[in-house]
Structure 1
Amino acid sequence: MAVSLPENNCLASIRTSTGFPPMTEISGIPAYNPDKPGRGRKSFLPPEALARVLEQVVQPRIGQSRWSCRSMAQVAGISPASVQRIWAANDIKPHLTRTFKLSNDPNFEEKFWDVIGLYLDPPDKALVLCCDEKSQVQALERTQPGLPLGIGHIRTQSHDYIRHGTVTLFTALDYLEGRLISSIERQHRHQEWLDFLKKINRETPKHLQLHLIVDNYATHKHPKVKAWLEKHKRFHMHFTPTSSSWMNMVERFFRDITVYLRDGSFSSVRELESSITTFLALRNAQPTRYVWNAKGEDILNKIQRAREAMTSQA
């Protein structure tokens, strides 16, 4: 409801008479801000305290793995809030750790461009299939029922569980369409991988060439698998460099299904398999495509910088 004010009423009375905060715009009246730039007490930090916060953050005290705002504040003689502001201004995040693994593959760059090329310029009359297996998917049953999410409280889940077994999810992700070809198995051997390749062969158009992106797991290179591939010439295998499964876009799908299963409670392996099957059906009903956007040169430059940084720290 609009508020009508007399023309000679000063802006300062808006807050008193209406209860609106100073920055609220009422019936076309510009937002009112009583504070002028430069007003108020200026924050001040001793230069030595600032230097100590920035220098010592990379050198945790004995018995500590990292600094906290409170522990650093005690040493620097300033407030925890000041430490937090200094770290934020300098993009310092002591509480975070990012995992990595640089590939030692002697043919890294060759394999890198082989895989990335399929994303950036997919071949005609062919399917690009990102293939892998998600092993050790556990059927975990929570020991007690949890409370659902509600207003004022978060969802709860018991910290302990009963293990009922595991399954392996074999998946081929069609890079261009986002469709999935999957198989759920109780074991993870070359026999199951070979059966999955045969399933791919059955469920894809026979006139199309198949370019499979896979990692270097031993089952992918088993002699019986190689013998079968020799007889099925439309299969073209593209191996990622060692320690470089991040190049395989199916890993992005595995992240999604991991999030989906994480909150579940499964009383049997069969119940877990049913939940996975339901998720796969929903995804194929509305396929989600994962698009590679990163530039190859940028990735290689980043890897080179990482190698140089590691060498300098050695």
Structure 2
Amino acid sequence: MENVLDWYAQPYDPDEPVVCFDERPCQLIGETRVPRPPKPGRPQRYDHEYERKGTCNIFGFFQPLKSWRHLKVTEHRKSEDFALCMQYLVDGLFPQADKLHVVLDNLNTHSPAALYKTFNPDEALRILKRIQFHYTPKHGSWLNMIEFEFSALSRQCLNRRIPDIEQLRYEVTAWEKRRNHDKATVNWLFTVDDARTKLSRLYPQTILS
């Protein structure tokens, strides 16, 4: 926890940016009947019945100090998908950075082993040399600022029926562009000192002789 909080307190460094990363599932839902269009004094109406169209996954990258986020919609979230996201992070999103500090949780696919499973050893090592993982503690995913972005995404974009992955990508991209244009970010105030005071029960008790 303190490792993550300490990095959040660091000033912005373009050579070693901090990027929060996570993923969330998304259910695809279609209509069984054509919605009725809105009329004066009456909003558009949807039938309560719907059709399940399967599920997919949304990976999220969030750089709070630059008010920037990027979302990537995939069909699933296997270890290979995580490895491809890390390759995309270092080569596509931050090719000029010396080291990327990635905040993420302890999901079993979030590991260096995923890169060796996906790429040849030389490529896996090349990517890992550019990344330093900072894991949130167990039951401490709230420490990852990308969770705030996923919450906003759920309320502002995913609060309607989206029937297929192509439409989802379109909607998510539009939301991402608007948030980046508005420079929306997280004003993080919880510090290491706050943790030591408010979460003192989580610390071992030291007895001085």
- Please, what TM-score do these two structures have when normalized by structure 1? 0.54
Per-residue deviation, 1:156: 5.5
Q: Which residue of 1 aligns with 2:53?
A: 164
CA distance in 2, matches of 1:231, 1:267: 39
Q: Which residue of 1 aligns with 2:125?
A: 230
Please say if 1:195 is aligned against 2:84: yes
Q: Tell me the SS of whatever aligns to 1:141.
A: strand
Q: Which residue of 2 aligns with 1:80?
A: none
Which protein has the bigger strand share? 2
Please say if 1:258 is aligned against 2:148: no
Q: Count how many residue pairs are aligned between Structure 1 and Structure 2.
A: 194
Per-residue deviation, 1:241: 0.4
Q: 1:122 to 1:242 in 2, by over 3 A?
A: farther
Per-residue deviation, 1:257: 0.7
Identity %: 23
Q: Which residue of 2 aligns with 1:244?
A: 140
| Alignment-mate amino acid for residue 128 of structure 1 | V
Q: Which runs of 5+ in 1 are unaligned?
A: 1-111, 308-314
Contact 2:21–2:62 at 8 Å: present in 1 too?
Answer: yes
Q: Which of 176, 180, 197 is the equivalent residue of 1:280?
A: 176
Q: 1:207 to 1:265 in 2, by over 3 A?
A: closer
Deviations for 1:20-48, whole angstroms, at most 9, x for unmatched residues?
xxxxxxxxxxxxxxxxxxxxxxxxxxxxx
Task: Output aligned runs, 1:1-314, within 5 Å.
Answer: 112-122=1-11, 124=13, 125-135=15-25, 137-144=26-33, 145=35, 157-202=46-91, 203-221=93-111, 223-225=113-115, 230-232=125-127, 233-304=129-200
- Please, what TM-score do these two structures have when normalized by structure 2? 0.79
Q: Which runs of 5+ in 2 are unaligned?
A: 204-209
Contact 2:5–2:191 at 8 Å: present in 1 too?
Answer: no
Q: 1:189 to 1:149 in 2, by over 3 A?
A: farther
CA distance in 2, matches of 1:275, 1:140: 14
More off after superposition, 269-278 vs 142-151: 142-151
| Alignment-mate amino acid for residue 130 of structure 1 | C
CA distance in 1, matches of 2:40, 2:7: 45
Per-residue deviation, 1:234: 2.2
| Alignment-mate amino acid for residue 115 of structure 2 | V
CA distance in 2, matches of 1:139, 1:193: 21
Per-residue deviation, 1:147: 6.9
Per-residue deviation, 1:306: 9.4
Deviations for 1:190-232, whole angstroms, at most 9, x for unmatched residues?
1111111111112214243210001000111252426655333
User: Bigger relative contact order, structure 1 or 2, given CA contacts below 8 A and separation 6+?
Assistant: 2
Q: 1:288 to 1:204 in 2, by over 3 A?
A: same
Q: Which has the larger radius of gyration?
A: 1
